Amino acid sequence: MIQPSISYLTDVYFGFGVSRVVPDLLAEIGIRRPLLVTDPGLKDLGIANRVGLRDAAVYSGVKPNPSEPQVLKALQVYRKGRCDGLVAVGGGSSLDLAKCAGILAGHAGPLESYTMRCGGTIRVTRRVPPIVAVPTTAGSGSEVGRAALVTLSSGDKVGILSRYLTPAAAVCDPELTMTMPPSLSAGTGMDAISHCVETFCSTRVNPVADAIALDGLERGCRHISTACLDGTDREARKEMLMCALQGGLAFQKSLGAVHSLSHPLGSLGRSLHHGTLNGLFLPAVLRFNFDFCAGKFETMAQRLRLRKGSDLPDYFEAMNRRIGMPESLSDLGVTREELEPLAAKAAADHCSPTNPRPLDEAACRMLYLSVL
C-alpha cells in the first residue's frame, strides 16, 4: 500500500469555552442523530449538557483500556438510535472506543480483521461515520490521530490504523480538563510528553512532525508540574492540552519502545493507566536508545535547557518524582510472572519497528525488568 510522505490532518477548535460549538459543528458536518460516547463519571457530571447534546443517544460504558465487548455494546446503541455519527467526549479510551464502534457501524465484523496485525488498514474505508472528538484529558492525542487501541475478546491489546479514523473535527476546550485530579493530570501529562519524545526519535522522516513534537515537548515540560499541583491554573491547563494535541499531530511518525512496552500491560485486566505506564518507561527507554539517536537527544536537551542529551533520563525521572508518579511496576501491583509472556507481545507491537534501536523480545524483557 502506497502511503503519502506527509499528511496533516483535520480541523481543530481550541480554546476556553470552545465546546459550545459542538451542536453547530455537528449541523455543519451533517450529523443529525449523534451517538455520544463517554464514561460513567462524565455522564454523572452532566457532560451531555455541557457539550449541548442533551437529547443525543448515549453510550456511557467506557472503561480504561476499552474492550471489544464495550465496542459491541456501543454499536448496539448506535444502531438502535439510528445514529449517523459519533461524538466522543472523554479521555483516549472514549475516543478510541468511538473509532472502533465507527468501524463496525460501516463495515462487517469481526473487529480483529481491521487490526494492523491482520493487515486490516486497507479494509477500513470511508464508510466509517463522521466522528467529532472532545478530549477532557490532556494526554492521548487521539482527537487528531488516525489510530485506535482496543483489547480484543481474546485478551490481546491491538492497534487499528486508518486515515478514515481521523476525527472530522477536534474540539479542545481546556475548561473540560480543569477538574482532573493530580494523579490523572500526571499520567495524562506524561502520556503527552512521551508522544512528543518518541515521535521526535522515531526512525521515520517527517520534519513537520519533528517541529511540532519539539514545541509540544517544551510546553509540556514547562507546565506539567503546575498542572498537577494547581489544577485551577488556566495557563497550565491550556498548555498541557496543547502539548497533548501536538503529540497527537506528531505521532503520524509512529512511536517507539515506550508504547511497545505499555500496550501489552493494558491487557492484564486491571486499570493500569496507559499514560502512567509511559511515564514510568520513558527514562529506561531513553537510556536504551541513547547511542542510536544521540543527536536528537542533544536537540531535545537544548530545548529543555539541559547541559547535554545524556541528562534526559535523569531529568524525566526527577519529573516523575516531582509530580507523584509511581516509581516501579511493582508499585502498580505488576509481578514478574505477569511480565514474562508480555515481552514477545511488546517486541511484536506496531510501535516497535520505528524505535531507533532494534527491539527484540530479549530487549523488551530486559526493559520490563529494569522498571519492576
Band of the pLDDT at 344, cuts 50, 70, 90? very high
pLDDT at 77: 98
Whether the per-residue pLDDT at 301 is higher than 70: the answer is yes
Tell me the chain's radius of gyration from C-alpha atoms.
Answer: 19
Neighbours of 310 (CB within 10 A): 15
Q: What is the mean pLDDT of residues 247-275?
A: 90
pLDDT at 319: 98
Identify any residues that bridge with 14 across adjacent strands, giving them in sequence order: 172
This prediction's pTM: 0.93
Whether the per-residue pLDDT at 350 is higher than 60: the answer is yes
pLDDT at 5: 53
Pairwise CA distance, residues 353 & 274, whole Å: 20
Whether the per-residue pLDDT at 45 is higher than 70: the answer is yes
Written as one letter, the residue type at 92 is G
Pairwise CA distance, residues 346 & 38, whole Å: 29
